[in-house]
Amino acid sequence: MNNTRMRRRKGAPFHHSPEAVTHARENAGLTQKALAEQCGFSFQLMCDIEAGRRNANPERLRAMARVIGCSVADLQPAKGVAQLDDEPPTATERKAS
């Protein structure tokens, strides 16, 4: 499996809205550290996502939405990026594509 990191082109839109992530996390009563731990990524990454320094890829968005208890669309900007489904495709759906 190839794990090359895809960098976001400078000026390209984020997959998430930093303000929406912060708002949803606070409404759920979670700290950045607690959300990061429950999602399985670092506290520093969580800080960077909320500050708008790093992009939350679709897998991270789905993990955050599950932990927070909201839809993925609630964490995305209203326009500028393709809206994600709330659930990732199953293994059989990925093979069919």
Residue pLDDT, tens place only, 79-95: 655 555 554 444 333 34
CATH class, domain 27-75, is mainly alpha
DSSP per-residue codes, 12-70: PPPSS-HHHHHHHHHHTT--HHHHHHHHTS-HHHHHHHHHTSS---HHHHHHHHHHHTS
Say whether pTM exceeds 0.75: no
Nearest to 74 by CA among 28, 12, 8: 28
Which pLDDT does position 12 carry in this prediction? 65
Which pLDDT does position 91 carry in this prediction? 39
Domain chopping of the chain, boundaries: 27-75
Residue pLDDT, tens place only, 22-41: 999 999 999 999 999 999 99
